[in-house]
Amino acid sequence: MKGLRIRAGGLGRDYAPAPFYPFWPVPQLHRWYRRAITRRRIVKALFKPRGGVVIIGDDAFVRATTEALELLKNKTPDVYALLQKHIGCVVSSTPARVSTPSFAACCLASLLAHSPTTAVLMRPYGSELSIEERAGVLAHETYHAELYRRAQNGNPRQAVAENAYSGEHAESLCVAYECDVLRRLGVDEWDVHQNHRSLESRWWEAPGDGWLI
């Protein structure tokens, strides 16, 4: 960068101003801005000022998630009602640095200590996940929230223990609930069995750094 000629102290030396670089690279600022907007939408959705489940993601994610919710509403209205009771938003997200691909979604159940509903973070699957399977995943994560509320209501004066809604026992309950929903949605029994066998991977023990939102 060619700078201005500036005389310093009459000594005749030329100085060029140093190139200006933003303190943070523009792409990083853009990512932070988008995350801030997403988090703001999540917080608003948790308190459901207008009711209904808010879906946050690209058009394909919104469309597929909407179809899964409609399927639950039409074929398993009790499951849909439970989801509406506990889940304020479903957000397209990915787990950060995990050693297993088994993570399909995550329910932020602990947020229920501070808000009437919580968020489900879900991988932005494409056609590799059927609408029925998406609906099953949403039912699974909803049941984590149900387990949290049951523990909270059972002992309202104490903080909810983590093993009440997560860990091996909680996951087995959520998978059983998910498998029941899949059967009611008409999923082949072999696929339901394979879903139940996913417990063998013990994904809840895999190290990770949370989800990207």
Question: Is residue 2 assigned to a domain?
Answer: no
Question: Is residue 66 assigned to a domain?
Answer: yes
Rounded to whole angstroms, the Cα distance separating 17 from 175 reads 63
Segments forming the whole domain that contains residue 57: 50-199
pLDDT of residue 39: 73
pLDDT of residue 49: 56
Q: What angle do CA 105, 47, 204 make, to 5 degrees?
A: 20
pLDDT of residue 101: 54
Using a cut of 0.95, tell me whether the model's pTM lies above it.
Answer: no
Question: Is residue 208 assigned to a domain?
Answer: no
Torsion sign over Cα 30, 54, 67, 137: positive
Question: Is residue 15 assigned to a domain?
Answer: no
Question: Is residue 207 assigned to a domain?
Answer: no
The tally of CA atoms less than 13 A away on the side-chain side of residue 62 is 7
pLDDT of residue 43: 78
Starting from the edge strand earliest in sequence, which strands make up the sheet with 54-56, in order? 54-56, 87-92, 118-122, 105-107
pLDDT of residue 97: 62
Convert the chain into a string of H (helix), E (strand) and C (coil).
CCCCCCCCCCCCCCCCCCCCCCCCCHHHHHHHHHHHHHHHHHHHHHCCCCCCCEEECCHHHHHHHHHHHHHHHHHCHHHHHHHHHHEEEEEECEECCCCCCCCCEEECHHHHHCCCCEEEEECCCCCCCCHHHHHHHHHHHHHHHHHHHHHHHHCCCCCCCHHHCCCHHHHHHHHHHHHHHHHHCCCCHHHHHHHHHHHHHCHHHCCCCCEEC
The tally of CA atoms less than 13 A away on the side-chain side of residue 77 is 1
**How many CB atoms are located within 10 Å of the residue 50 CB?**
7
Backbone angles phi, psi at 7, to 5 degrees: -85, 130
Print pLDDT tens along the chain (213 aa). Answer: 433 333 333 334 444 444 544 555 656 665 666 667 777 877 787 887 566 899 999 999 999 999 999 999 999 999 999 999 999 999 998 777 654 555 688 899 999 999 999 999 998 876 678 999 999 999 999 999 999 999 999 988 899 999 999 999 999 999 999 999 999 999 999 999 999 999 988 888 876 656 666
Rounded to whole angstroms, the Cα distance separating 38 from 92 reads 10
Q: What angle do CA 37, 39, 45 make, to 5 degrees?
A: 105
Question: Is residue 18 assigned to a domain?
Answer: no
Domain count, the chain: 1
pLDDT of residue 37: 74
Question: Is residue 3 assigned to a domain?
Answer: no
Question: Is residue 6 assigned to a domain?
Answer: no
